[in-house]
């Protein structure tokens, strides 16, 4: 698939052959997300075609409507995006169904670099599980097309933390800590499958040393 265009001048026009608008031309010098991090196996996030998320209750890491919380924060901080991370469409997404629809997952396969005309700095290339492969903004022009869905694929592990639902020792990927219950943690799979009180807020830890 042809890469998304990154114009440097001119107004915004809905002229893309795929029906998407051109990116706003003004560059902003310059946090998962545009949406890009490599997720390895080709498989959808869930059987149903819905964005992976808890269905109700407050979520301190979502920052949105408590009845429709996001699985992660609005963007991965700059420099945090790595090849292999799994991502979904994010807050600034405007590329139609390039990802095969809301809730589908892709893997970051390339990180943008300075001097590139197709994948500049603050962008990434994502391989969607549906087969499409193209680039997205991860801070470019102040926009974030992606949300981080899972980082277990790059070896992130919380060695001394046990998931209180599935009882696996050493949570892989992101750790979800209940803000209401004492010393209660979930792995991403159990969190997304609503294995705890939906009315409880959670803190999300992307790595063993990160802050919620």
Render each residue's pLDDT in the chain as its tens digit; 212 residues.
667 766 553 333 333 334 444 444 343 334 444 444 444 443 333 333 333 444 433 334 433 333 333 443 333 444 477 788 888 899 899 999 999 988 888 888 889 999 888 889 999 999 898 889 999 999 998 999 998 887 665 667 788 889 999 998 888 877 888 999 999 999 888 887 888 888 888 887 877 766 65
- In a domain, residue 191? The reply is yes
Looking at the fold, whether 76 and 162 belong to one and the same domain comes out as no
Question: 153 phi and psi, to 5 degrees?
Answer: -65, -20
Q: In what order do the strands lie in the sheet with 185-187?
A: 185-187, 175-178, 202-205
Per the structure, the count of domains in the chain is 2
**Residue-number span of the structural domain to which 54 is assigned:** 1-151
Looking at the fold, whether 57 and 95 belong to one and the same domain comes out as yes
Looking at the fold, whether 117 and 84 belong to one and the same domain comes out as yes
Q: Say what the pTM is.
A: 0.52
- In a domain, residue 210? The reply is no
Which of 26, 5, 9, 33 lies closest to 135, judged by CA? 5
Separation between Cα atoms, residue 8 and residue 5, nearest integer Å: 10
């Amino acid at each position: 698939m042809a890469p998304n265009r990154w114009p440097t001048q001119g107004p915004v026009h809905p002229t893309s052959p795929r029906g998407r608008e051109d990116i706003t031309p003004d560059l902003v010098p310059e946090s998962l997300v545009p949406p890009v991090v490599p997720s390895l196996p080709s498989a959808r996030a869930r059987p149903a075609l819905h964005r992976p998320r808890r269905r109700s209750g407050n979520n301190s890491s979502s920052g949105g409507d408590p009845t429709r919380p996001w699985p992660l924060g609005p963007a991965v901080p700059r420099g945090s995006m790595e090849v292999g991370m799994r991502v979904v469409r994010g807050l600034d997404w405007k590329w139609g169904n390039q990802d095969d629809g809301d809730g589908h997952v892709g893997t970051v396969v390339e990180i943008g670099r300075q001097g590139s005309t197709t994948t500049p700095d603050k962008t990434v290339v994502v391989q969607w599980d549906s087969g499409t492969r193209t680039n997205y903004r991860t801070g470019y022009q102040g926009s974030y097309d992606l949300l981080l869905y899972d980082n277990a694929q790059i070896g992130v592990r919380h060695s001394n933390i046990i998931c209180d639902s599935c009882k696996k020792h050493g949570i892989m990927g992101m750790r979800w800590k209940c803000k209401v219950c004492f010393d209660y943690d979930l792995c991403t799979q159990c969190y997304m499958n609503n294995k705890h009180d939906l009315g409880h807020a959670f803190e999300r830890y992307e790595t063993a040393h990160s802050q919620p």
